[in-house]
Structure formats: structure tokens, C-alpha cells
Structure 1
Amino acid sequence: MNREKELRYLSIEKLETRKTEDDKMTISGYVVQFNKRSKVMWDFVEVVAKGAFRESLKNNVIKALWNHDSNLVLGSTKNSTLRLLEDDFGLRFELDLPNTNWGRDAWESVRRGDVDGVSFGFFVIEDNWEYLKDEDLYQRTLLNVDLFEISPTPFPAYGDSQVSCRSFEEFKTSIEQQNKNELNKRKMMLELDLF
């Protein structure tokens, strides 16, 4: 089986940073949101299905790189400086940056908002293609991928990825609130359908 390495550059609303009293620098956000479209890439758009990263998260050592540069390693799941979690919303990450020149530069670029996207590198294990006649383009759905790296980047392909520099507790609270708002919307819609 000949697999090609693929990279996706994602645009996000918030790339979060936080700095603790011991000068530990952390960024967090979403690598990708499930079932949200990428920008048009050539003649297709792409979405990532919930569960596409499940096997990778169980089996792979995944690295965080600066803009896909393997000379600038920012973290790793091997030593838990990179933490990844699939939730109902997407693939969430939290990354403790190294106290190196490129780690401090990365933190500052994210803090200032100059870098506000996340990208990911992967091999496709399973996908599905569908022609969208009304839009005259194809939609590719990633069902199972072999994820090997994520990267903060200035040029993302997915408009809905998120990364920022704030406390993880604030971040969790904002995501929990988004999820509650979505559930309340669904509940209200169900109630309206009953009447």
C-alpha cells in the first residue's frame, strides 16, 4: 500500500496562550473541528469525521512542530508535553512549549495573534469521496487517518481550527459553554417540533 503524506493548514478563531508563575508557556485550542469544511483545495473540500484520530491517539507518538519543520520540535505525546483529545467538537490539543528560542518565539507569535492557525500531518487510512453537483466540486471525508504531527501555522486550510494563549480552565469552560449552548438549541428545536 503506497500512502502519501498529507498536510492540512487550518485557520482558527482562537489560538490560546498562557504562562504560569514558573514561566511555563502553554498554547491550546482545536487542531480541527469535526464535520466542518476546509477551504477549497484544488477541486475539493475536506471534512474530518468524528473518530478519525481514535487509533492514532491510542497507538502513535505524535509530535508538535513549528509550521511542519521537524527541526523545530515543540512537544510530543511521548512525554506529555503535547496532549491530544477527541471530544464531540473536534481534536483538542494543549502544548507546553519548550524554553528554547523557537518555543519562546512560537508563544509570542501566538500571543500576538500573528499565528492563529493549526495544521496537521497524516496518512490516509480510510476516506470517502462524494461529488457535490450543486457546487461542482468533490467533498472528501477523512474517516480514519494516521496522525503523526500537528503544527501551529499562519496559513491554515480549515477555517474553524482554534488556538490561543489562555488558561486551560478558561478554555475548558468556554468549550463546555459552547457545548451547552448547542444542546440548548437542539432541545428548543425538539420542543418546537413537538407543538
Structure 2
Amino acid sequence: MSRDNRKTRSLQSELKTRAETDSQDMFIEGYFAVFNRATELWPGAFEELAPGAFDETLGNDIRALINHDTTLVLGRNKSGTLELKADSHGLWGRVKINPNDSDAVNLYERVKRGDVDQCSFGFNIGAEETEWRDDGTVKWTITKVDLHEITVCTFPAYEETGVQARKAEIEQHKQRQLDQRKHQLRERLKNGITTNHAGKKD
């Protein structure tokens, strides 16, 4: 799979809201990605994140968005309004809500009521491992992520392009296997013919 294309992955999370009475600050927080949880992209094809996948990327300039909309920025790690950290469970984030931003405040209230509980993250794959299983299934384990954004969303983004790229990778693998079998068959036939000729007497 090409590592040049940006991808998104989504999950239903237990996002929480928190308000500090002293400072009046409001926060949305929770896990935006979880390790060792296999997602079935389609029957027989799985993908999961390995622990440590975010270790080299949290220094990026990362934004927190609403519904993947780059014009609706909730927070940014470079400005101190977005805090991100990876632990043994996954990628945890906390966004400080701007009380003067009506979009952010409205989202805060929707998360608080439980009306919005989906989240996603946008990234590039830095490294991954592919397990082609004997039963015909496949699992990709992403071991290194180049993170660009996290988002709180009403509905998770359905990434058809990412799924199609994975399917293309499987087709390429099948073609390589077929080519290898054809080559082995040709070699066996060639060796068999050579052996027969060598053993033939006039």
C-alpha cells in the first residue's frame, strides 16, 4: 500500500467532557485510537495498530477538528490547546474548548449529552507488517504512524479509497503467488523433460 496517501480510521469512543469550576475551562477528552484492536475492513481482512505506533509522531503539528473539516479547528498541540499522549491502551487526547467559539461549545454540549461519541484520526502509514494467513485471511499491523489530525465526528468517515487500496494489495499478492506457481510448474516440466531425455536410450 502506498504510504504517500493520507488515511483516516474511526472508532466509537467514550469521549468525556470536563469543566473546571475554578478556571471555567472546558475539555473534551478520550481515546482517539486503540492498540491491539483488530478492525475488519471486509470479511477476512483485518487491520490493527501496534503499541508504540505513535511514539515518533506526537511532535508533529497536529490539529483537533470537527467532522474532518479543516475550517473547524478545536485545538492544536503547538498552541497548547490540544494535549496528546500514547499509553499502553492507545492514543489519548484532550482538547481545551474555546468558550468564544460557538461551534466548539456546541460540540462540547453534544458530547456531554452523548449525542456525539465518534472520533477519527488522520495519518500516513510509516511502517506496517502484513500477515498472509493459511486460511486465506490477511491482517495488517500498523507499527508506525505519521499523525496529522484527530477529529470528533458525528459519523465516522467511510474511507472507500483506503479499502480499495488494501484490496488492490491483496490482488497483487495473489498475482505474485500465481506467477510463482507458474514458474515452479515450468521448472518442474523443464526438469522432467530433461530427465526423460537423459534417460532415453537409442
Q: State the TM bucket, normalised to the shorter chain.
A: 0.7 to 0.9
Q: What is the aligned partner in structure 1 of residue 107 from structure 2?
A: 106
TM-score (norm 1): 0.72
In structure 1, what is the equivalent of residue 145 of structure 2?
Answer: 145
- Pair 1:71 & 2:40 matched: no
Deviations 1:93-148 (A, max 9, x none): 111112211101110111111111210000111111223455x5321111101101
Contact 2:65 2:75 in 1 (8 A): yes
Q: Is residue 11–residue 155 contact of structure 1 (8 Å, CA) maintained in 2?
A: no
Question: TM-score scaled by structure 2?
Answer: 0.70
Task: Name the SS for the 2:108 alignment partner.
Answer: helix
Matched residue of 2:57: which SS?
helix
Conserved 8 A contact 1:17-1:111: yes
Choose 148-157 or 101-110, whichever is displaced more: 148-157
Aligned partners of 2:123 and 2:146 also within 8 Å: yes
- CA distance 1:104–1:138, change in 2 (3 Å): same
3-state secondary structure, aligned to 1:107: helix
Deviation at 1:42, TM superposition (A): 3.8
The equivalent of 1:48 in structure 2 is 49
RMSD: 1.9
Q: Match of 2:130, as an amino acid?
A: W
Higher relative helix content: 2
- Taking CA–CA contacts closer than 8 Å with sequence separation of 6 or more, which of the two structures ends up with the larger relative contact order? 1
Q: CA deviation at 1:66?
A: 0.5
Deviation at 1:33, TM superposition (A): 1.6
1:20 shift after superposition: 2.2
Determine if contact 2:3/2:125 at 8 Å carries over to the other structure. Answer: no
Structure 1 window deviating more from structure 2 (120-129 vs 40-49): it is: 40-49
1: CA distance, partners of 2:155 / 2:9 = 9
SS in 2 for 1:104: helix
Q: Which amino acid aligns with 1:145?
A: V
Distance 2:145 2:49 in 1: 9
Query: What is the CA–CA distance in structure 2 between the aligned matches of 1:124 and 1:114, rounded to whole Å?
Result: 31
Q: Which of structure 1's runs of 4+ aligned residues deviate more than 6 A?
A: none
**Structure 1 contact 10–155 (Cα < 8 Å) conserved:** no
**1:4-23 alignment to 2 at 5 Å?**
4-12=5-13, 14-21=14-21, 22-23=23-24
Q: Give structure 1 stretches of 5+ with no counterpart.
A: 158-195
Higher radius of gyration, 1 or 2: 2
The unaligned stretches of length 5 or more in structure 2 are 158-202
Q: Which residue of 2 aligns with 1:61?
A: 61
